[in-house]
Amino acid sequence: MFGGERTECGVEILGLSCEIDIRYVPTLRAAFRRKIAARCKALILDLTEVYDIDSSAIATLVEYHRDAGRQGGVLCLCGVNEGLKPIFEAVQLGNSVAMFDCVADAVAAIRRGEIQPYGNAASATDRDTDIPARMLSR
């Protein structure tokens, strides 16, 4: 299920692979709990190698997005293949979680401060500061 984990420009990247379904949700949820406990400020899920995902896994992604946002963290998805796009469109996941074609695009958007935590609107003082540097240094 996990295709690799790395950090790029201060952004954590977790690669997933194969089919992500109810059998793997406990493992995925545990990985997300570790990210929350470590106060991960920016996580990109690379779905390039994922060929199917079920509703329980999508719910787990949404839960992490919400929980990370509560502590100022952000979540992005990248590498969403043509087989997954209709699933994500049906549940309108792209309306709440940022999606990019590749890791480099997601990292760049996070570094530019374009991705905001779930449920948090940037205040005037946040807009006047270097959001990415401030986020990633906590």
User: What is the model's pTM?
Assistant: 0.83
Strands 42-53 and 74-78: parallel
For the stretch 81-94, pLDDT in tens is 999 999 999 999 98
Q: How far is CA 18 from CA 27, 48, 63, 66, 84, in A?
A: 14, 9, 21, 25, 12
2-137 is classed CATH 1.10.510.10? no
Nearest to 102, CA basis, from 8, 1, 2:
8
6 has a pLDDT exceeding 60: yes
d(CA 103, CA 109): 10
Q: Phi and psi of 123, rounded to 5°?
A: -80, 170
Q: What is the pLDDT of residue 126?
A: 39
Q: How confident is the model at residue 125 (pLDDT cuts 50, 70, 90)?
A: very low
Q: What are the DSSP E strand ranges found in 54-109?
A: 74-78, 98-100
pLDDT of residue 94: 87
- In this prediction, residues 46-51 reach a mean pLDDT of 95
Considering the chain, what percentage of its residues have pLDDT values greater than 90?
77
Spatial CB neighbours of 22, under 8 Å, sequence gap ≥ 6: 54, 56, 57
Name the least confident of 10-19, 25-34, 108-117, 118-127.
Answer: 118-127
| CA distance linking residue 35 with residue 48, whole number of Å | 21
Distances (CA, A) of 134 to 25, 44, 78, 130: 32, 18, 23, 6
Distance CA 79, CA 50 (A): 9
- The domain locations on the chain are 2-137
